[in-house]
Amino acid sequence: MSESYVGSELLEPDGYLQPKRYRITCLCHRCGKEYRYTTTKLTAKDKPCPKKKCVEAAIREQVEKGTANFQRIVETGIPPGHIGDKPLVKAVDETAKIVMEDHKMTDLRDNLRPGDAMAPKLPGQMQQQADNFFSKNPLAERGLGSRQAELLKRRAIAGAFRGMAINPSQVVPGSTGQSPLRQVRTERLK
């Protein structure tokens, strides 16, 4: 850093309901002079010295730093955005390769997003059936026209079929009137 924070003072806003203003005082390490600037937002980074000599020196330093980085890249042969040189990345890649070769699984999910694990992939034919459930062709084969399919879809979304579920106590064996929920086991956590 070529400048350091010296202090600040609170100024009155420019007008009614305008943000507060701050006058920041900094010290330039290149020329040794104090400079001030006014801002409405306090940030962690101070503005650079406005003197032309200091601006040119900052540009020169940036060019020298870029040249040194480029020389380091040429000497080592490793580009700055090199990916895959870490042991963890190599381990994940090798594991994926082994799984794909041994178990013939080529649809591994390596870019997980929220919800991916909750909805597993369907086999090709089942995914096509799910995608085309309310389209014209599959329902037309069953004797439903597109207008009937649209009405059926609207009724389903509106909840017309919610009362068609059966009582779980009819499926789970036990006496009538008992709760269909059963306690399987109890675990004690330490």
pLDDT at 133: 74
Which of 76, 95, 121 finishes a domain?
76
Query: Which structure tokens are listed for 55?
Result: 């601006």
pLDDT at 60: 92
pLDDT at 66: 92
In a domain, 177, yes or no: no
pLDDT at 101: 85
* The residue to which tokens 């330490």 are assigned: 190
Query: What range defines the domain where residue 8 resides?
Result: 3-76
Is 20:40 a contact under the CB 8 Å cutoff?
yes
d(CA 110, CA 89): 12
Q: List Cβ neighbours of 78 (8 Å cut-off, separation of 6 or more).
A: 85
pLDDT digits (tens, 9 = 90+) for 107-149: 666 665 666 655 557 778 888 887 777 665 656 666 667 788 7
In a domain, 116, yes or no: no
pLDDT at 172: 67
In a domain, 38, yes or no: yes
pLDDT digits (tens, 9 = 90+) for 150-182: 888 888 888 888 888 777 667 766 666 667 677
Total domains in the chain come to 2
In a domain, 20, yes or no: yes
Q: How far is CA 62 from CA 1, 78, 111, 142, 168, in A?
A: 12, 21, 37, 72, 73
In a domain, 176, yes or no: no
What is the mean pLDDT of the segment spanning 82-106?
Answer: 79
d(CA 47, CA 43): 10
Q: Which residue has the higher pLDDT, 145 or 71?
A: 71
In a domain, 51, yes or no: yes
pLDDT at 161: 84
d(CA 186, CA 121): 33
In a domain, 30, yes or no: yes
Is 40:50 a contact under the CB 8 Å cutoff?
no
In a domain, 90, yes or no: no
